[in-house]
Structure 1
Amino acid sequence: MTVPEFVCFRFTDAERRIFRKRVRPQPSVWAAQNIVVQDGPFAGSRLRMDVTPYMPGIIDTLYQPGVEEVGVCASPQISKSELLFASLFYSMEFFPGPKLVAMPDEDTLTRAVEKKLLPRIRGSATLRRLFYRYAKGAFELTDGSPVYLASSQSPAQRASVTVMHEFLDEIDLYRQLAGQGAPITEFEERTISYGHKRKILKISKPMGDETSAIWIFVTIDCDELRRWQVPCSACGTVQIMHEDHVVVLEHCKDPREIKRRKLGRYKCPHCGYLWTDHARNQAVARGEWIADEPVLRPRAVGFHLPALVSPFVSLSEFAADKLTAENSDDDRVKRDYANGRCAKPFKAIALDTKEETVLSRRAMWLPAKTVPVEAVALTCGIDVQMDSFWFSVLAWGREMQSWLVDYGQLRTWEDVMGLVHGTRYPVLGRDGSTLGIWRAGIDSGGNKTKHEILTRTEEVYSWCRARGDGRLFPIKGRSRDYHVNVSWTTIDKLPHSGRPIPGGLQLYLLDVNSLKRLLYKRLRQDAKQPMLLHGQTGEDYARHLAAERLVKDRAGNYVWEQLSDTNHLLDATMIAHACADDSWTPSLSYLLEQEHEETTKPRETPRPDADDRGSILAAAASRASAILANR
């Protein structure tokens, strides 16, 4: 049998469509045509790339040949979620194969899937065609590809799967638990089998200091770091927008007024032209991604996106937050501004307060147990020991400057109650005017007492219930950092339901690490909200405050090192700071605003002096507490 040299096949039109190589459109173009926004101001419309002109460059870079990893270090309100979902949906359409979406915890994952991911799939005809079914932990596409859903806190969800494309959201919130491995590393290991075909997208706001995972990735691990550079509307100079060039009109120093009157501007460093929000948005629309040090065929690319380039954040909001951070000694305020607005890590510093440094803060013009005329309220912190109580009394000004008025050691509970409820300090330069303690916090540590019948915790709770009178509150330090300096919980609860009893005793929880840092920074010469000591402050007080220092350990983390066991006045002063902190509800700042409103109303009576101010603050605090109790 003779075999012909050539064999001809004729394909049908349907077969030709199947075998024809599929053309992949540019990812940003496909996303704009097929994704329908489900929430926010543009809900119901197609994904608008003109609103966030920096987004197309990131999506297109991720799917360029040779690029395996992309990291985005960005502020909130920059459309990070839309960026992640658009990248995922493009992968679902054009790259058959297993995929993985990871979130910081189970609650965040469930909320993101049910409130964002699935509604976007159902809202688009193209995406509905791709979707087959959803089950807990994954959903399946019509081509058979699985999309795994994982929480960084679950080792089981990080193991036993191999994926081609990964989408990791808010990686700085991936906590490494003891004995359970490093979540980011384990997620990356899931893609090893796919070699050069893998794609990994990491998106996050930087959290904390230079150890931020996303900051390390985009600045060190990536081959390129790209920034959004924009041209000035006046001189045309292309530049990277920097927070140092954000200015305020009329030299306004009130953050609320800056926001209300829209006084924030961006000053071009080349021509001095002041950009409004409209001018900023026009400049951002004409911007482009430019690498600091371009690399030929990069494998990993990082992007930096501060809030300055976001159309959703006004320059006035940015300027107000900048001013607040500059005028505060609170590391938490400065960190939130650096992380949230500038998309940069907060550079913490070691704090080592020596005895001579503490004593140098003495104001020789201020006698002991005397209140400066600028003071508006007194707070007291009490540290409880087995056989005594150490206390510190601070006076506070309207700008949160403070003065040490009194300190010492008490022996009995009656002495404590006499200090909190019965002691009034004279006001310097005002004959006959006195000021009593407005708010006091007492440590509820569990030390034993001499009689060993009740613990100190039980004693503190009992005395605060019986004679706190809205002035003395139990305090407890947190074992780890928290997102606010002061929070509270009601410890008196109903026996069966466990619900808080209305009007029950409230326990205030302190972020000790943050409050000590704040105290030490206020003792520095360059403090924005300085703390001064009365002229007779002795070496005993300085010795207590110099008993600890903040140092960097081998892992690069800042930790408190205790140099001496004699640190009771340090704890007492820290508690007195907490009583005036803005996170205490109601805060001193809020009550001062209420007092200002009361005293500026038209009335026949004169403005209250120091004797009456305490009653006005107490009345305002009572009204605020009643509102909280009714919520």
Structure 2
Amino acid sequence: MSANLLPSPMSDPIEFNNSIDLSDIGGTLTLAETTHDAWLPPEPVNTFEWLCENMHSHKGAPFNPVQFPWTKGICEAWDDPRTRNIWVKMGSRLGKTEVSLGCHACAQRHDPNTGMIGASTQRLLEKTIGDRFYGMMAKTPALADLCPPKHRQNSHKVSTRTFITYGAWSGSPTTLGDIDPKYVNLLEVSKWVREQKSESDSIELALARGSEIPDRKFLGESTPTIKGACRITKFVERASNEYFHVPCPHCNHHQRLRRNTTGERKDGGLMWDGGPEEAISPEKAYQTAHYVCESCHKNIDETQRRSMIQKGVWCGTGQRVDKNGELVGKPANGIRERSFNLSRMYGWTFTFADYARAYIESLSLSGQSFANDWEGEAWVPLKVEMEWEQLAKRLCVGDWELGQVPEGCYFLTCAVDVQVDHFVCATFGWDNRQRGCLIRHGTVDTWDQVREWIQRPYEALDGGSDMRARMTLIDSRDGNRKDEIINFCRSVNDEAGPHVYPSMGGNHGSMNLRFFRKLAIDADNEIGKKAKRNIVPGIHLIMINTTVFQEWMDNVMVNRVPGDDMSMMLPQCLIEDQDLFDQLLNEKLNKEKGIWEHIDTLVPNDMRDVFRYGRCAAEVLTNGNWARIPKHRPRQLPESEADRHQRQRRTAEQLNRNRESGGKPNQSKKRFVRRPSSTSSKRFVRRKSL
């Protein structure tokens, strides 16, 4: 005797209730509520509507569909049972991480199952789960009951009473294996490392997780990186490859918002007034920016931009949008994998004018920052192919001698590259148009010689007083000599000399569009977050955006003629210096690893490094605001012979005192110092005599 508890596939649909009639076997079976719910398939959910009604960010801000209208198409792909994989390639600050985590949270709320959130690094994963995901759960009323208390929150795994979401990161096969998640969300796909020794790539491992589950969902998002090595670009292009098309307010023609690259009005796109791009100031581009419809060629005002975006439609390869806003055609690559592209031109907090200004500013140093973070496209690096004689002939056009400062230079910077047994030094002059010139370069053997190099005065050919470097950066990437370098920088600064800071290269992804970052240094020479409360004023470690200044160096050698803005000029007397130009050319970008490497391992690249450090020192000194530098250096009366001898005597006496003291920094002359203990009633104590 048996009971048919479930209808046969061919029977009419029935309505379930909490009781099942078992009269033929002598009774009625009453099901618990949870058991009853488990019998039923999950109700379909509209993720976009759920986000609009429920989702709050980790900061407590409610999700605003007006600011992020393009997220609707991504959510619809997440809900579509025909779509397995979703790829999102966007510029920065456009909400791609928020929508990814929102889709994951909505799915776990309505149909709980095993999930996985993957990040490019362990630190990013811990920040994403520990700060953003738990914060979003706590601030979202529909998820608050699932959020574990603070003391039970694990930044590597989200464990609730209904679901578990595991954390994973690239380069860690153990976190990517042995689980079968139904929901997989990967962050910053393009920054995932490639494991050369492992049997499979990290992203391929993540894609394989849960692939046997029929309704498994996968969403990978990222800002792009370098053309040819950008991983998100490859996945996006092989899928539906959709762009957000918006209607012209004049003719209703749907088009993708983009920058005009031809200079022809008939081609449409974002334009601005002026001549060649290199000759336009960022402010002029900002003030004259306007968008031209590619169909009717009429201007589209900034006040019309947001309303256009609200009516946008995602359109893939093989499709078009008619004037009624309806898609025509089918995606050339199907809908099993859908992919989306978006630039900052669609951003709620950005404008056409902001976009134009950012592009002109990118011409000065970093085109990669603009391509990746604003255009949302992979950056095509400059290819440098020339012999040293060609480079020498191109750059050596100056009519000054080494050790002289040509007319037009307003300030000097210095750079020092620290080697095992010597130091590579160079001094540069700069004007208000970001044009540089080499004043002096060479090698020295001791720290005393480095000090003399930094403090040396140079003859100014404009008839004014001698000039000295006002900012110096010393490379401290060798961790074994960190304390030695920082102590030297501190000692020179204590002599009321020029600003002398230690420096270190940083990768593009960690710099957040900045050319450099200043990190605090404490009395124990700890840096940044490791620095304690007793921060030493007047000295910082400068973290240099390596990508920005490597790209500047390549542009100096290939694109910018000496005399152009952001160019570099060398004196004619160096035209036969093969070693100098071999070093400038001896580095190229490894697209696979995303780092610059030696071309010829037998040739150093120290001079290329000091050129980059000297340029960054100018950015640090001006704080990026070159416009405040006067067009001409104020003329001063020539220094008399007696004054010059007196100044040189004072400098020599100071150097002798430094040698006698072993180069240690001067002790503070303050009679009172702040008490280290905050519990004492007295905030200051008298300094003890040494």
Q: Same fold (TM over 0.5)?
A: yes
Alpha carbons 1:385, 1:447 under 8 Å: kept: no
Residues 296 and 192 (structure 1), Cα distance of their counterparts in 2 relative to 1, 3 Å cut? closer
Compute the displacement of 1:407 (Å): 3.5
Tell me the distance in 2 between the aligned counterparts of 1:79 and 1:513: 25
Aligned-partner residue type, residue 465 of structure 1: S
Letter in 2 for 1:27: T
Matching residue of 1:625? none
CA apart distance, 1:168:
1.7
Aligned residue for 1:343? 376
Give the Cα separation in 1 of the matches to 2:637 and 2:543: 31
Question: What corresponds to 2:388 in structure 1?
Answer: 355
User: Contact 2:424–2:610 at 8 Å: present in 1 too?
Assistant: yes
Q: 1:29 aligns with which of 46, 49, 62?
A: 49
What corresponds to 1:247 in structure 2?
A: 271
**CA distance in 1 between partners of 2:94 and 2:187 (Å):** 14
Residue 576 (structure 1) aligns with: 614
Shift of 1:225: 0.9
TM superposition shift of 1:74: 1.1
Gaps of 5+ in 2: 21-35, 261-268, 319-330, 639-673, 675-690
Match of 1:537 in 2: 574
Rounded Cα–Cα distance in structure 2 between residues aligned with 1:98 and 1:456: 46
2:598 match: 560
State the distance in 1 between where 2:49 and 2:180 align: 29
How far did 1:400 drift? 0.8
- Offset, 1:475: 4.8
Q: Distance in 2 between matches of 1:588 and 1:138?
A: 42
The alignment partner of 1:502 has SS state of strand
- For residues 145-164 of structure 1, the aligned pairs below 5 Å read 145-152=163-170, 154-164=172-182
Using the TM superposition, name which of 97-106 and 465-474 deviates more: 465-474
Return closer, same or farther for 1:553/1:402 CA change in 2, 3 Å cut-off.
closer
Amino acid at match of 2:232: I
Letter of the structure 2 residue corresponding to residue 191 of structure 1: G
Matches within 5 A, 1:81-480: 81-113=97-129, 115-123=131-139, 126-127=142-143, 136=154, 137-139=156-158, 144-152=162-170, 154-176=172-194, 182-194=201-213, 196-220=214-238, 222=239, 224-244=240-260, 245-248=269-272, 253-255=280-282, 263-293=288-318, 294-295=331-332, 297-326=334-363, 328=364, 330=365, 333-360=366-393, 361-383=395-417, 390-408=424-442, 416-427=450-461, 430-442=462-474, 458=484, 461-462=487-488, 465=491, 469-471=496-498, 473=500, 475=502, 478=505
Who is 1:616 aligned against? Answer: none
3-state SS of paired residue (2:574): coil
Q: Secondary structure at the match of 1:43?
A: coil
Whether the aligned pair in 2 keeps the contact of 1:384 and 1:456 (CA below 8 Å) is no
Residue 477 and residue 139 in structure 1: after superposition, are their counterparts in 2 closer, same or farther (change >3 A)?
closer
C-alpha spacing 1:572/1:51, structure 2 compared with 1 (3 Å): closer
Code of the residue aligned with 1:193 in structure 2: it is: E
2:611 maps to amino acid? T
Which letter does structure 2 place at the counterpart of 1:562?
D
One-letter amino acid of the structure 2 residue matched with residue 283 of structure 1: M
Quote the offset at 1:480 in angstroms.
Answer: 6.7
- The superposition leaves residues 551-606 of structure 1 with CA deviations (integer Å, 9 ceiling, x where unpaired) of 466958553313653655444434333322x2x3x44644873x66xx9xxxxxx9
Residue 493 of structure 1, CA deviation? 2.7
The answer as to whether partners of 2:341 and 2:376 remain within 8 angstroms in 1 is yes
Residues 424, 437 of structure 1: 8 Å contact kept:
no
SS at match of 2:303: helix
SS of the residue 2:82 aligns to: coil
1:518-556 deviation per Cα after TM superposition (whole angstroms, max 9, x unaligned): 22421334355111112322312x432223434466958
CA distance in structure 1 between the aligned counterparts of 2:482 and 2:144, rounded to whole angstroms? 63
- Distance in 1 of aligned mates of 2:145 and 2:525: 54
Shift of 1:342: 0.6
Distance 2:597 2:211 in 1: 36
**TM-aligned CA deviation for residue 92 of structure 1:** 2.2
Change in Cα spacing, 1:389 to 1:101, as seen in structure 2 (3 Å) is closer
Q: Could you tell me which amino acid in structure 2 is paired with residue 273 of structure 1?
A: K
Structure 1 residues 9-28: aligned runs within 5 Å: 13-14=17-18, 23-28=43-48
SS in 2 for 1:545: helix
1 CA distance for matches of 2:219 and 2:370? 25
The answer as to whether partners of 2:87 and 2:340 remain within 8 angstroms in 1 is yes
Distance 2:218 2:518 in 1: 41
| CA shift in 2, pair 1:97/1:573, >3 Å | closer
Letter in 2 for 1:609: R
Cα distance in structure 1, aligned partners of 2:66 and 2:525:
58
Q: Which residue of 1 aligns with 2:669?
A: none
State whether residues 433 and 626 of structure 2, in contact with CA within 8 Å, keep that contact through their aligned partners in structure 1.
Answer: no
- What's the offset of the Cα at 1:359? 2.1
Rounded Cα–Cα distance in structure 2 between residues aligned with 1:166 and 1:70: 10
Do 2:190 and 2:232's aligned partners in 1 also have CA atoms closer than 8 Å?
Answer: yes
> Is the CA contact (8 Å cut-off) linking 1:383 and 1:390 kept in structure 2?
yes
Measured after TM superposition, the shift of residue 160 of structure 1 is 1.9
**Residue pair 2:463, 2:635 contacting (<8 A) in 1 also:** no
Task: For 1:211 and 1:380, locate their aligned partners in 2 and report how far apart those are by CA, in whole Å.
Answer: 35
2:52 aligned partner, one-letter code: A
Among 71, 78, 82, the alignment partner of 2:94 is 78
Take 2:194 and 2:576, find their aligned partners in 1: how far apart are those partners?
Answer: 43
Measured against aligned partners, the alpha-carbon deviations of 1:327-380 in whole angstroms (never above 9, x if no partner) come to x1x2xx211111111111111133245222232222254455443332111223
Aligned to 1:546: 582
* Structure 1 counterpart of 2:187, one-letter code: D
Q: CA deviation at 1:175?
A: 3.5
Q: 1:71: how far off?
A: 0.5
Determine if contact 2:492/2:498 at 8 Å carries over to the other structure.
no
Deviation string 1:214-259 (CA, Å, 9 cap, x unpaired) is 1111013x2x111111111112222111122223368894436766
Matched position secondary structure for 1:162: coil
Q: Any conservation in 1 of the 2:473–2:503 contact (CA below 8 Å)?
A: no
Structure 1 counterpart of 2:282, which letter? P
- Provide the identity percentage: 16
- The range that moved more, 164-173 or 417-426, is 417-426
SS at match of 1:312: coil
Q: Equivalent residue for 1:493?
A: 523
- Contact in 2 for aligned 1:474/1:506 (Cα 8 Å): yes
Specify the SS of the correspondent of 2:405.
coil
CA distance in 1 between partners of 2:484 and 2:183 (Å): 56
Q: Distance in 1 between matches of 2:52 and 2:476?
A: 58
The residue matched to 1:403 in structure 2 has which SS? strand
- Whether the 8 Å contact between 2:58 and 2:131 is mirrored in structure 1 is no
Code of the residue aligned with 2:107 in structure 1: it is S
The TM-score, its normalising length taken from structure 2, stands at 0.71
Instruction: Please report the TM-score for the alignment, with normalisation by the length of structure 1.
Output: 0.77
Give the letter aligned to residue 597 of structure 2. Answer: V
Higher mean displacement: 232-241 or 565-574: 565-574
| C-alpha deviation, 1:324, in angstroms | 0.5
Cα separation, 2, equivalents of 1:161 and 1:316 = 48
Q: Does structure 2 conserve the Cα–Cα contact (< 8 Å) formed by 1:368 and 1:535?
A: no
Distance change >3 Å, CA 25–CA 372, structure 1 → 2: same
Aligned to 2:634: 608
Give the 3-state SS of the residue equivalent to 2:225 in structure 1: coil
Alpha-carbon contact 2:416-2:423 (below 8 Å) kept: yes
